[in-house]
Structure 1
Amino acid sequence: MNYRLPVRAAALALAAALALTACGSGSASDSGASPSPTATAAPSPSAADVAAVAGIKIEGDAGAEPTLTFDAPLSVSTPTARLVDKGDGEPLQDGQNLSVHFVAFSGEDASRVGSTWQEGQGSTDQITLGDPSLGVINDVLTGQNVGARALVANPMTAQDGTVTTSIMLLEVAAAKTIPTRAEGEAVTPAEGLPTVTLDDSGKPSITIPEGYQAPTELVAQTLIKGSGPAVEATQSITAHYTGWKLDGTVFDSSWERGTPATFSLQQVIQGWTQGLAGQTVGSQVLLVIPASLAYGEAGASSHALAGETLVFVVDILDAN
């Protein structure tokens, strides 16, 4: 998404909020894909947290950027959300791709961080309702309608240990039901590649051929050719995926979490950006990514997957 700098700062705040309750073995940094690791339930908000969010004043009609007024500094001890409007559009459904507007403020000094409404750009971010990593955002929007507005207060810890609270108002601008798996024309893969098998739901598994040599260049093999538009490297996509190391070990999977993930192709490892740009929506793609296009060679990075050749099967369900 092509936000200008102030809006990009707000987008980073939203990403932090979405990832807040996600703690566990997998992560965006593990796969280069979504902020959707195995989620761990956050503590319930305290009475003080609820009161702090309840005291935020919102001015302005739905459909336009609102003004938020509160006494700073404002802080919460755990992610805390409040439904502002339930919306009067179509009911939201689990698994839908939601286009959301948001405006973000600093709880420390009540300064406005940024907004998707800024300067009339009209850009929205994309989330998948039901994604476990949405945490309280997922909780507050479930059962609501298009047009729903929610306040989210999110404590964030900086590298120096300083904790600040980000405050956002989100509005659901649109909701789209997307397929649950790749759909299109089957493509016969080149010989010698890892073999992909799908179960009845579309969840993939792979078999690595005996003696398979890790490639030095990216392999992007289309397995199913979708009929949708071509994906651009600057877009966000919604996808189901699983990632393996060459020994067959799964290290990340949206299928295991039960919900597709939505993320920008500008915020992933190079192998994803290069391998998925140009593919069509509805496609399933096998990616075999050398370390140089993933997390670097062993010793050159502290990442747990440094030096690893990674294998992914990605179903491209939508692009925005």
Structure 2
Amino acid sequence: MDYLPPRPARTLRRRRAARPALVASVLALGLGLAGCSAGGPAAPSASPSASASAAAEPAQVANLDGVSVEGRFGESPTVKFAPFTVAETQSKVLIEGSGPEVTADMAVTVHYQGLNGRTGQVFDASYANGKPTSFKLNGVIPGFSKGLVGKKQGSRVLIAMPGKDGYDSSGGIAQAGIQVGDTLVFVVDIVSVPLSGPSGDKVTQPSGQPTVSGALNDPRISIPAGAAPSQLVVQPLIKGTGDKVATDSTVVVNYRGWLWDGSKQIADTYAAKMVNGQQVPAAPESGPLSDLIKGWQTALKGQPVGSRILIVVPPSQAYPDGSPDQGIPAGATLVYVVDILQVY
């Protein structure tokens, strides 16, 4: 996350958000991601298929027809299969959702169960905790991303991946009972993906505030004449209906920012940008709420996903000494339009 407004450098104190069980205990171990839990992965436990088939030699299969999955979306599944391997990552939609599709660079919120294709043992799951887990697909093992990209929110997906898309490059994960060459089997319920834009009821603004016009994906600002407000202004423009931002949330947002004086644009995620001589496509950005400027922390906390928020931030809650690399002079009041697309 390179552009989301960070705290001023002189007060910056980065804190890594706690990793969910899947990332901390299993997926992250194969990638060396930060924030791993001290306890490591859940102890392997036998699935209904394990006792009958653990001694059998895994056979390579061309499809997942031999894997039986019972249970409803959002509930812990019962998975049965004879030991098997796959040469390439395969996926199968068991329950078809109707929501937006998963893309490779987004964060997803899922419930999941992971099993070893060689032994039938469950090595990790989220259902017992009663809470789904969230992570960025480009930050986990390749097979997980390959299996979910293109699938829809609300779907239950069966994934089988060979060791090369799992943990072979890490030498397996001994504490999870995963050896080099093991095929991994996941049942994944896609609980939520980021919205493509704000969604909800429009809110009437009081007079005297900056006004926003333009298309939803191209907000424009009109700043009124007169002195900038000395206090933080937080004005919902569209009121969403999703989960609310909490103190410990990571937020996924689109936003555009301007200086109050002169209306110069200083930040933007709606359009492609040049970074170090290379064009970076337009894309939402994400970051822990606790890492953002104080004005954003106060403004976004408690706001529901789907909301569009107008924020006018006085210098004391943004960059009192300025931020030259963002084109922000000392003492500048900033104006932002922020679309909250996801929290996790």
What TM-score do the two structures reach when normalised by structure 1?
0.52
Gaps of 5+ in 2: 8-22, 33-86, 94-100, 111-123, 149-158, 170-185, 273-281
Alpha-carbon distance between aligned partners in 2 of 1:318 and 1:68, rounded to the nearest angstrom:
26
Q: Aligned ranges for residues 273-312 of structure 1 at < 5 Å?
A: 273-297=297-321, 305=328, 306-312=330-336
- 2:247 maps to a residue whose letter is A
Partner of 2:91: 88
Change (3 A) 1:225 1:63: closer
Change (3 A) 1:220 1:85: farther
Specify the SS of the correspondent of 1:65: helix
Partner of 1:223: 237
Residue correspondences, number: 209
Q: Which is higher, the Rg of structure 1 or of structure 2?
A: 2
What TM-score do the two structures reach when normalised by structure 2?
0.49
Partner of 2:146: 144
Specify the SS of the correspondent of 1:192: coil
Q: Considering only aligned residues, what root-mean-square deviation do their CA atoms show, in Å?
A: 4.3
Alpha-carbon distance between aligned partners in 2 of 1:235 and 1:85, rounded to the nearest angstrom:
35
Q: How far apart are 1:315 and its partner, in Å?
A: 0.8
Q: How far apart are 1:183 and its partner, in Å?
A: 1.0
Q: Deviations over 1:203-223 (max 9, x none)?
A: 211011122x21221100011
Alpha-carbon distance between aligned partners in 2 of 1:267 and 1:93, rounded to the nearest angstrom:
25
Q: Aligned ranges for residues 61-140 of structure 1 at < 5 Å?
A: 65=26, 86=89, 88=91, 92-93=102-103, 96-99=106-109, 126-127=135-136
Specify the SS of the correspondent of 1:255: coil
Q: How far apart are 1:266 and its partner, in Å?
A: 1.0
Q: How far apart are 1:87 and its partner, in Å?
A: 5.9
Q: How far apart are 1:145 and its partner, in Å?
A: 1.6
Q: Aligned ranges for residues 7-18 of structure 1 at < 5 Å?
A: none
Q: Deviations over 1:1-32 (max 9, x none)?
A: xxxxxxxxxxxxxxxxxx6xxxxxxx437x33
Partner of 2:3: 28
Q: How far apart are 1:142 and its partner, in Å?
A: 11
The percentage of aligned residue pairs carrying the same residue is: 28
Check the 8 A contact 1:244/1:251 in 2, yes or no. Answer: yes
Change (3 A) 1:63 1:209: closer
Partner of 2:289: 265
Q: Deviations over 1:14-67 (max 9, x none)?
A: xxxxx6xxxxxxx437x339xxxxxxxxxxxxxxxxxxxxxxxxxxxx996276
Q: How far apart are 1:302 and its partner, in Å?
A: 7.0
